[in-house]
């Protein structure tokens, strides 16, 4: 059996910088969470078709792992890859909540690509593997590179490592899940005209502690999608803990343990 951890991430900040060809561009700081992850395993099994266990609630054709397999197969046409998954099934131990803004599906796809590349000896370099992953989802390249911290730009395909020590955070999971497409569509229809990305481009050069301290009195400044999520899911405002920070397209909130709690009473 072969296994790999698929870590969750949070967005320290997320600023929408524009909209092109039907997609939003962004500037964001991603941080990998060391203590929250799914586990992807390749387990010996004679399989008539590509088989995933542990995610029965998701249709196979919609599963990011299956999409990653298809994208990888389309790129390589490698018969050894097909043969391997006729003799192995994919087993997922799922711990990252869905619809939570933590990148669970994208992380699963990125981890799958890295493990399949290694085990099947495909010898694909990481930039190419990340490009393959971008066909699955905008966040997948970050998880292919597997940096602890990175600035992510464009449509999610530009990954720049940010050399800063990751820090521990506390997470809060509301009872409400946020659909990414719905949140982005709400942002496009109601908030896109209000963006001022030039005001925040310097954040890419600041450490996360300074950025959080700068914006902690107004969490909406850190994440442009927070306002869109509140519009799309009005009940989320009742669930949001005061002063906590919003990750991704939601609905998870996070609070750094040792950055602003002592100064701001969080």
What residues are annotated to the active site?
A: 9, 139
> Is beta strand 23-44 parallel, antiparallel or unpaired with respect to 149-154?
antiparallel
What percent of the chain is helix, strand and coil (3-state, nearest 5)?
Answer: 40, 25, 35
- Angle, alpha carbons 177-237-265 (nearest 5°): 110
Identify the burial level of 197 via C-beta atoms within 10 angstroms of its C-beta, where 0-12 means exposed, 13-18 middle and 19 or more buried: middle
> Is beta strand 52-53 parallel, antiparallel or unpaired with respect to 253-256?
unpaired
Contact predicate 101/179, CB 8 Å: no
Contact predicate 101/30, CB 8 Å: no
Dig out the tokens for 165 from the structure. Answer: 């020590």
- 67: Cα separation from own chain's centroid: 16
Contact predicate 236/179, CB 8 Å: no
Residue 108 CA to residue 3 CA, distance in Å, equals 12
């Amino acid at each position: 059996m072969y296994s790999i951890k698929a870590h969750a991430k949070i967005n320290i900040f997320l600023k929408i910088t524009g909209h092109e060809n039907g997609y939003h561009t962004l500037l964001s700081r991603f941080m990998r969470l060391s203590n929250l992850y799914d586990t992807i395993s390749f387990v010996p099994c004679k399989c008539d078709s590509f088989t995933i266990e542990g995610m029965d609630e998701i249709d196979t054709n919609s599963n990011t792992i299956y999409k990653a397999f298809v994208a990888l197969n389309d790129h390589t046409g490698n018969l050894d890859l097909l043969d391997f998954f006729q003799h192995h099934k994919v087993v997922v131990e799922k711990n990252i909540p869905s619809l939570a803004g933590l990148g669970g599906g994208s992380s699963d796809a990125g981890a799958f690509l890295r493990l399949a590349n290694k085990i099947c000896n495909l010898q694909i370099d990481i930039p190419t593997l990340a490009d393959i992953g971008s066909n699955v989802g905008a966040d997948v390249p970050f998880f292919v590179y597997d940096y602890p911290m990175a600035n992510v730009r464009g449509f999610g395909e530009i990954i720049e490592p940010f050399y800063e020590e990751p820090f521990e955070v506390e997470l809060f999971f509301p009872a409400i899940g946020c659909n990414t497409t719905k949140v982005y569509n709400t942002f496009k229809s109601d908030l896109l005209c209000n963006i001022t990305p030039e005001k925040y481009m310097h954040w890419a050069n600041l450490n996360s502690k300074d950025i959080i301290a700068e914006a902690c009195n107004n969490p909406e400044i850190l994440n442009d999608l927070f306002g869109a999520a509140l519009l799309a899911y009005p009940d989320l405002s009742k669930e949001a803990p005061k002063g906590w920070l919003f990750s991704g397209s939601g609905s998870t909130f996070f609070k750094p343990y040792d950055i602003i709690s002592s100064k701001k009473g969080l």
